């Protein structure tokens, strides 16, 4: 049984949770996030709208596994509309840079051409001197776009050039030794 699933998820002031069928929508100051919940899980809002509870339709091994997962998803939805999620990427390398023009992120990272990535509508991207800040209300969309940006030029192990997360430690190799 899920320890997380047994506890209700508290709804902070100013955030509205609505349920229609298997769709859960969370609306707050920063935006709206909607997800379709698994048919094995029952989501309900308490009558005083202070908390969300999740329960199982039928106890099966699969539904027990999904119970805690969906609690985490709904908790992340509430946290995202309260305060947007952020991922910071660092660009290392001489001449490497990133520019945001309209709805596109343009990366110059050592290729013979510039790499252009289309920024999704619900994600905000800001570039500064040596980094990129990706933010948005949906944690999965933010992480997915940040991973897509990082995959353009992963950090190489000898000089560390490339794009990496601010919390990531790039393992460096020694290189050739001179005799």
Task: Read off the pLDDT of residues 9-42 as tens digits, 9 standing for 90 and up.
Answer: 999 999 999 999 889 999 998 899 999 999 999 9
Other Cβ atoms within 10 Å of 124 Cβ, number: 15
Other Cβ atoms within 10 Å of 64 Cβ, number: 14
Q: What is this structure's pTM?
A: 0.88
∠ CA(19), CA(21), CA(24), 5° rounding?
35
Which homologous superfamily is 3-82 in?
Answer: Ribosomal protein L6 (3.90.930.12)
Which homologous superfamily is 85-165 in?
Answer: Ribosomal protein L6 (3.90.930.12)
% the chain with pLDDT above 70: 98
- State mean pLDDT over 118-127: 94
Other Cβ atoms within 10 Å of 156 Cβ, number: 15
Where does the chain hold its CATH 3.90.930.12 domain(s)? Answer: 3-82, 85-165
Collapsing DSSP to helix, strand or coil, 170 comes out as coil
Residue 91 vs residue 177, higher pLDDT: 91
Residue 84 vs residue 64, higher pLDDT: 84
């Amino acid at each position: 049984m899920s320890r997380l699933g047994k506890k209700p998820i508290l709804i902070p002031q100013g955030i509205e949770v609505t349920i229609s069928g298997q769709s859960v929508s969370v609306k707050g100051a920063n935006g709206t996030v909607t997800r379709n919940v698994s048919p094995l899980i029952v989501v309900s809002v308490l009558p005083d709208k202070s908390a969300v509870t999740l329960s199982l339709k039928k106890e099966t091994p699969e539904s027990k596994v999904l119970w805690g997962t969906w609690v985490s998803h709904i908790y992340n939805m509430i946290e995202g509309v309260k305060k947007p999620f952020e991922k910071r990427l660092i660009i290392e390398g001489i001449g490497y840079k990133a520019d945001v023009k309209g709805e596109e992120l343009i990366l110059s990272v050592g290729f013979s051409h510039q790499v252009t990535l289309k920024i999704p509508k619900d994600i905000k991207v800001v570039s500064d001197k040596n980094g990129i800040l990706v933010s948005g209300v949906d944690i999965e969309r933010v992480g997915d776009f940040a991973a897509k940006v990082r995959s353009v030029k992963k950090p190489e192990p000898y000089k560390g050039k490339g794009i990496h997360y601010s919390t990531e430690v790039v393992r460096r190799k020694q290189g050739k030794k001179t005799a």
